[in-house]
Amino acid sequence: MLTQIIAHRGSKGTRPENTLPAFIAAIEDGADGIETDVHLSRDGQLIIMHDELVDRTTNGTGRIVDHTLAELKQLDAGVKYASAYAGTRIPTLDEVVQLLIQYNFTGIFNLEIKTNKIHYEGIEDLVADYFNHHQVPFTLIYSSFYGKSIERLHILQPEVESDSLFKTKVQTAKRLHAQHIVLGYHPDIRWVRVHWLLLPKVQLRPWTVNTERDMRFCYRHRFAGLITDYPGLARRIRKQVQGG
């Protein structure tokens, strides 16, 4: 089996992260999967962005949860990356899903529930309800740094794979794996390089694997996948190491 290439926030290294252009670039680069993040707006809409604040990636300020969808749609999510992307808007979960359907994307869609800093009330139920009412061509995977979100989603949709995210604290991931709530781990690549031999036999998809050295490390050890800002580069390196 080839190590799967998961595009981190789309092709984050070559397009404005978590925007439709980034997801299109990831598909065109041949990524096996797409990783993205979901929050709730003030009016309960599922918003695709990494940070809790809009400040870093848009021309706005403040928390997503303090803005309505209409207010968020007024912000520019591309101009800070490059002037060529001025006018790019913050997408909703539905807009991303419809894009993937349009492109007939059949790989992995890894949705991170961003509840480790703000515990958005009911976000797990809204996400599960969305996918219960939308037929999709791709394989859905949930992940989160917040164990309670994973536990809730496992209750709501036990048929959907869930994976545990962590930087250095593996205890929650081990507990969820022992309880058969998560199938795999999504740890920081820096942690993996030190600890991977000590892990139980789990499916590993480290993040954020951006250097050729780290990519080759993941490919040599045949990890299940890697999460990268540069899916095009990762695909070229994989061909050299694993073929296919």
State yes or no: pLDDT of 244 exceeds 80: no
List, for residues 161-174, the tens digit of each pLDDT value: 999 888 877 889 88
State yes or no: pLDDT of 200 exceeds 80: no
Cα separation, 34 vs 42, whole angstroms: 26
Q: What is the domain range of residue 206? A: 4-242
- The least confident of 33-37, 44-48, 179-183, 199-203 is 199-203
Q: At what angle do helices 147-156 and 171-178 cross, to 10 degrees?
A: 20
Which tokens go with 156?
């709501």
User: Residue 135: exposed, middle, or buried by beta-carbon count in 10 A (0-12, 13-18, 19+)?
Assistant: exposed
Per-residue pLDDT, 40? 98
| Total Cβ atoms within 10 A of residue 95 | 15
Cα separation, 225 vs 228, whole angstroms: 10
45 in Cβ contact with 69 (< 8 Å)? yes
Per-residue pLDDT, 111? 98
Domains: count for the chain: 1
Residue 111 belongs to domain with CATH number? 3.20.20.190
Per-residue confidence at 126, pLDDT binned at 50, 70, 90?
very high
State yes or no: pLDDT of 195 exceeds 80: yes
State yes or no: pLDDT of 42 exceeds 70: yes
Closest Cα partner for 184 from 209, 204, 167, 199? 204
Which residues have C-beta within 8 Å of that of residue 180, sequence separation ≥ 6? none
Catalytic residues: 8, 50
* HEC-encoded secondary structure of the chain: CCCEEEEECCCCCCCCCCCHHHHHHHHHCCCCEEEEEEEECCCCCEEECCCCECCCCCCCCCEHHHCCHHHHCCCCCCCCCCHHHCCCCCCEHHHHHHHHHHCCCCCEEEEEECCCCCCCCCHHHHHHHHHHCCCCCCEEEEEECCHHHHHHHHHHCCCCEEEEEECCCCHHHHHHHHCCCCCEEEEEHHHHHHHHHHCCCCEECCECCCCHHHHHHHHHCCCCEEEECCHHHHHHHHHHHHCC
Cα separation, 166 vs 170, whole angstroms: 7
Which pTM does this prediction carry? 0.96
List, for residues 72-121, the tens digit of each pLDDT value: 999 999 999 999 999 999 999 999 999 999 999 999 999 999 999 999 99
Per-residue pLDDT, 80? 98
Per-residue pLDDT, 196? 79
Which tokens go with 7?
């595009």
Per-residue pLDDT, 88? 98
- Provide mean pLDDT across the span 150-168: 93
